[in-house]
Structure 1
Amino acid sequence: MSLPEAWAGLPFFDQDWPGISARLDGQDWLPGASRVFAALKLTPPEAARVVILGQDPYPTPGHANGLAFSVTPETALPRSLKNIYTEMREDLGHAPPNGDLSHWARQGVLLLNTSLSVLPGQAGVHAKWGWDRLARQAVARAQKERPLAFILWGAHAQKALAGLPRAQDLVIETAHPSPLSARRGFFGSRPFSRVNDWLAARGDMPIDWALSETAVAG
């Protein structure tokens, strides 16, 4: 599988990836070799402006596309993503037409999971393989380019990147958008407009969260 060239200097690829790759060899894992580094390939460090951290890929074959919280266009919205879109409609008035968040990644939203592989039907099975070092290293590398906006949903994301946000970064920490916790502070947090207001104040382009040319209201 090809590595993300723009991120190739991260220590992870010399120190951790050879061992992880060997463990994956021969397994039927998700999202597969062609999509495992999709987040890094779509958002090089010089383009990263926003960080959203997930946990691991969806364990249902055909759902995960290598981006945190994102699914393939034909996949029904997972419950957390459905809540994310509900909050976006409250915040911005519209949401994307499907669950593929590639258009976020192309605008500089780094959609990393703390684990980039999983086995079908076995959520979290690779969580202790050392993947989390890649997430921290990638964020630290992107911080060398500019201040970043962190959207950290839930304790897992907040703990995984603890100590990295700086005074010049924007940090939005709320409950996770899952049905179990969304009403404990996620709903009403308006992360999308807050990030865009921060970007605008810096003279930067806002994120077109809803993919406006195809956005659907309601």
Structure 2
Amino acid sequence: MDIGSQRVHSSWKPVLEPFSEEISRILNSLTGSQVTPAINQVFASLEFPLNEIKCVIIGQDPYPTAGNAQGLAFSTPDEVRKIPASLRNIFKELHSDLGLDIPQSGNLEKWRDQGVLLLNRILTTEVGRSNAHSDIGWQEITNAIAQAAADHGAVAILWGREAQDLTPVFKESISSVHPSPLSAYRGFFGSKPFSKVNEALMRMGREPIDWRL
């Protein structure tokens, strides 16, 4: 199994090509395991053209609950009725920041399709176990993906310490604590990341993002 088995926009291929052997090794090592998201969704965040990426939102690793992850950081499929707590807090801040209705679905594909790269630093995990794949080699690959987006002028949203390790990569970034219930009240709520991204984009002469879902 290799990168050719993934749904990746052609503009990302030069970024991934130097890691083709490593990607094949990782994907083949996961075959037959209880892995989330599904193997064919691992690079779902890269279905949008690289040169049109406006914003990068960095996550840690996929939701471990079976059926919750879909290859986009923080996003869940429409059929998932119980929205994860961190995403509920993101939606609360979206409402507070921009006055938008709180979505009933956790599906963030509309953001991806406007140029928001929803990138987990670790692209897979075991079903039922968070951070199970933190040592299998994903970070080098996702660091290169983040660097490519930064080189194309993307603004980063960095929630939590792990995401903030990438601060030096981006010329423009908005940082706060993670939206997890454990930390959201220590500076995530009220941080206005969505309006701040749009302000940064407009300073660059780029179209703002319509954050409605």
Task: Pick from 69, 72, 75 the counterpart of residue 74 of structure 2.
Answer: 69
Unaligned runs of 5+ in 1: 212-218
For 2:204 and 2:167, how far apart are their aligned partners in 1? 24
Deviations 1:169-193 (A, max 9, x none): 3211100000000011111100011
Q: Percent identity?
A: 42
1:2 maps to what in 2? 6
Q: In structure 1, the residue corresponding to 2:87 is in which secondary structure?
A: helix
1:1-218 equivalences under 5 Å are 1-2=5-6, 4=8, 5-10=10-15, 11=17, 13-41=19-47, 43-75=48-80, 76-94=82-100, 95-145=102-152, 147-159=153-165, 161-165=166-170, 169-211=171-213
Q: In structure 2, the residue corresponding to 1:132 is in which secondary structure?
A: helix
Q: Which has the higher helix share?
A: 2
Q: In structure 2, the residue corresponding to 1:209 is in which secondary structure?
A: coil
**By how many angstroms is 1:3 displaced?**
5.2
Q: In structure 1, the residue corresponding to 2:126 is in which secondary structure?
A: coil
Greater shift in the superposed pair: 192-201 or 10-19: 10-19
Is 2:167–2:173's contact at 8 Å kept on the other side of the alignment? no
1:214 maps to what in 2? none
For 2:42 and 2:196, how far apart are their aligned partners in 1? 30
Count how many residue pairs are aligned between Structure 1 and Structure 2: 205
Is 2:27–2:39's contact at 8 Å kept on the other side of the alignment? no
TM-score under structure 1 length normalisation: 0.88
Is 2:158–2:167's contact at 8 Å kept on the other side of the alignment? no
Deviations 1:87-111 (A, max 9, x none): 1111111133310000111111110
1:215 maps to what in 2? none
Is 1:83–1:177's contact at 8 Å kept on the other side of the alignment? yes
Deviations 1:119-178 (A, max 9, x none): 110111111111111221112222333x2211000001112x24212xxx3211100000
Is 1:91–1:190's contact at 8 Å kept on the other side of the alignment? yes
TM-score under structure 2 length normalisation: 0.90
Describe the shift of the 1:203–1:71 C-alpha distance in structure 2 as closer, same or farther (beyond 3 A).
same
**Which letter maps to 2:6?**
S
Describe the shift of the 1:18–1:118 C-alpha distance in structure 2 as closer, same or farther (beyond 3 A).
same
Is 1:38–1:65's contact at 8 Å kept on the other side of the alignment? yes
**Which letter maps to 1:2?**
Q
Unaligned runs of 5+ in 2: none
**Which letter maps to 2:129?**
Q
